[in-house]
Structure 1
Amino acid sequence: MSHQLEAAAAGRPPKKTSSLVKGLKKTWPLHVLILPGFIIAIIFHYVPIFGLIMAFEDYKPWLGFFKSDWVGLKHFHSLFMFDESVQVIWNTLIIAVLKIVCGLFVPIVFALLLNEVRKTGIKRGIQTLVYLPHFLSWVILGGILIDLLSVKGGLVNRMLMDLFGAKPIFFLGDGDWFRFVVVVSDIWKEFGFGMIVYLAAIAGVNPSLYEAAEVDGATRWKQTLHVTLPTMLPIIIVVATLQLGNVLNAGFDQIFNLYNPLVYSKGDVIDTFVYRSAMLKGDFSFATAVGLFKSVISFVLIVISYRMAYKFANYRIF
C-alpha cells in the first residue's frame, strides 16, 4: 500500500502484479506435479529430433553427427528407386486402409447389435468380453495366434481338416493369408474399445424420438435406420476423418510379432522395414530417411483430417 502511495505522490502509476504471476502463485503445485512428465517428454520426444540429421548424411557411428559426410537428399532418392522400399510403402497403405475401413465398420455394427440387448447383465458381460483383448499386448496375442494358426497341430487347421476335409493353410507363411490374419486379428483386438464411443453416442439419443417413430409404425430396423444412425453420424465422421492420419501406421507391434521372411513381399511395412534397415543392417541414414518421410506425410494427413473433422462435424481440440 505504501508503495502505491509513494508512486501516486511521484506522479507515477502504481505497479500492478501481473495476472500471470498471480495465477502461478495459486497453481504452482500443479506445475511442479506436471514437471516430471514435461521433462520426460522433452528428453524422449524432442531431443531425438536432432537425430534426423542422419537422413541427410552418410552417418557412421564412429564419426558422429558432425564428421559424417553430408549427402543431402540421396537417401530420399534411394527410397523411391529401390523396388523393396516402394513395395513396403504399398504394403503399408493396403494393410492400413483395410484396418481403418474394417475397424470403422465393425464397431458400429456391433454397437447397434449390442444396443438391442435388453438385459443389462448380459449386455455388460458381452461388452467386457469384447473389450478385454484391448488390454493384451501383441507379444502375448502374437504367441497365441502363432500356436492357433500353426500348420502342424494348430487348432484352426485341425478344425478345417476335421470338419471340412481341407488341407492345412500356411496362414503366417503365405502373403495373402498373412494380410488377412493381420487385419482380422487387429479388428478382434480393438473393435471392443472403439465400440465404446458409439455406445455413448447411442445412449445420448433422445428416447422421445424412438417413441415418435414407434407411434408412426416404424419397426426396430426402421428406428435404427432413421433415428439411431443419423444421431451417430457426427461421431462417425469425426472418427473416420481422424483415422486418416493413421494411413501410414499399419501396426509395428503386431506385424513384428507375427511376420517372417516368407511374407516380407506382402507383409513388410514401413515401421518394420525401418527397424530391419537400422538395427539389423546398420543402415541408419536410410532408415532415418524412410522414417522421416513417413512422419512428414503422417503430419500432413493429421492436419488435413483435423480440418475435415472441424468442417464436417464441427469438431476441434483447440
Structure 2
Amino acid sequence: MNTAQQVQHALQTSHRISARRRRFRQNLPLLLLFLPVAAYFIIFKYLPMTGLIIAFKNYNFADGIWGSPWAGTAHFDQLFSTPKTLDVIKNTLMLSLLNIFVSFPFPVILAILLYEVKQLWFKKTVQTLVYLPHFLSWVIIGGMVMTIFSQQSSFLNYWIERWAGSPYPFLYKELSWIGIYLGSGIWKEAGWSAIIYLAALTSIDPSLYEAASIDGAGKFKKIWHITLPGISSVIVLMFILSIGKLMDVGFDHIFVLQNKSVMNVADVISTYIYRTGLLGAKFSQTTALGLFESVVGLILVLAANKIARMFDRGLW
C-alpha cells in the first residue's frame, strides 16, 4: 500500500469514526430513555433466570440455591414418568390449541367490522364497549361468569329450571366448561387485541378499494382480496407470538373458573405449579416443569418464524 492509499484509508477510517460518534450523539436521548426499560428486563426478567438452576438440584431453604445438592436430570425423569404431569401437559396443549384456532380469528374479524363502520359515534361506542373488559381483572370476570352460569343462583339456570324442570351444571360439565372458558377469554381480550389490526388497516391505500368498486367488487370480495392481504403480515406476526404461548395458558383465567368436577381438563401447567410447587413446596420439580414449558415455547416460536420466512412473513 503506497502513501496515497494509506492517507485515503486513514481518511475513510476517520470519517467512519466521526459518523459513528455523530450518530451516537443524535441517538443519545433515545438511549437514555431506553435505559429504564433495559434495567427492568435485566433485573426482573433475566437475573431471575439464574434460579432455574434449582431444576437440576434438590433444593431446600437451609442450603439455598447454590448450596443445595445436585440432582442432575432426576426431576425431569420424574416429570415425564408421572401420569399426572403428562395429563397436565396434555390439558395445557389442548386448551392452548383451542385458544389459538378458536379465539385467534375473533380480533381480526372484529377489527374488520369496526373498520367498515362509517358512523363515527356508533364506532366509538362499540370500541369502548369491547375494550372495557380488558381492564377488568379475572376475579371480576370470574364473578360475572358465576352470576350467569352458576347452577344454584344464576339467572340463566333460573329460567332453565322453570322451562326444563332442573338446572344445568354448566361449570361442572367438561364440554360446557371449555366453552365458557373460551367464550370468556374472547369476550375479555378480543376488543383489546383488535387495536393492532385496526392500526394496520389504516395503512391500506384507499385507492385500492376505489379501484375494486369500479371493477364491480362487492364488500366481501374487497375484504378477501384487499383487506386481508393488506394486514397479512400483522396477522402472521401475531400468530407467531401466540404460538410461543402454546404451553402457557396463563393462571388467573383458569384458576378463577376451575373446580374439582372439571380437573380432568382444567388442570394445566400454571395451576399445577402453584398447587405442587408453592403449596406443596416441591420447588425443584415444578421449576423443571416451568423450564420445559419455556424451552418448548422457544422452539415453537423459532419453528413458526422459520415457516413464515418461507413466505417472506418472518418476524426476524
CA contact (8 A) 2:236 2:313 kept: no
Equivalent position amino acid for 2:264 in 1 = S
The match for 1:150 is 150
Q: Which residue of 2 aligns with 1:197?
A: 196
Q: Secondary structure at the match of 2:231?
A: helix
d(CA) in 1 for partners of 2:137, 2:37: 24
Which position in structure 2 is the counterpart of 1:170?
Answer: 169
Contact 1:278 1:284 in 2 (8 A): yes
Partner of 2:51: 51
Equivalenced residues, count: 304
CA distance in 1, matches of 2:111, 2:42: 39
Structure 1 residue identity aligned to 2:260? P
Give how far 1:37 is off: 4.4
What TM-score do the two structures reach when normalised by structure 2? 0.84
1:122-271 correspondence to structure 2 within 5 Å: 122-162=122-162, 165=164, 167-271=166-270
Q: 1:21 to 1:191 in 2, by over 3 A?
A: same
Query: How far apart, in 2, do the equivalents of 1:155 and 1:40 lie?
Result: 46
Aligned to 1:276: 275
Q: Using the TM superposition, give the Cα deviation of residue 315 of structure 1 relative to its aligned residue in structure 2, in angstroms.
A: 4.4
> Contact between 1:205 and 1:228, CA under 8 Å: does it hold in 2?
yes
Aligned-partner Cα distance in 1 for 2:195–2:66: 50
Q: Which runs of 5+ in 2 are unaligned?
A: 1-10
| Residue type at the aligned position of 1:161 | E
Q: How does 1:65-84 map to 2 (within 5 A)?
A: 65-84=65-84
How much has 1:182 moved relative to structure 2?
1.3
CA offsets 1:7-63 (integer angstroms, 9 cap, x no match): xxxxxx9xx8x6677777776666565545444433322222222121112222123
RMSD, aligned α-carbons: 2.8
Cα gap change, 1:166/1:93 in structure 2, threshold over 3 Å: closer, same or farther? farther
Query: Against the structure 1 CA distance between its residues 278 and 227, is the aligned structure 2 distance closer, same or farther, given a 3 Å change threshold?
Result: same
Instruction: Note if contact 1:76-1:290 (Cα within 8 Å) is conserved in structure 2.
Output: yes
Q: Which moved more, 1:297-306 or 1:125-134?
A: 297-306
Tell me the TM-score normalised to structure 1 length: 0.84
Partners of 2:304 and 2:131 in 1: CA distance: 27
Matched letter for residue 242 of structure 1? L
Give the match for residue 105 of structure 1: 105
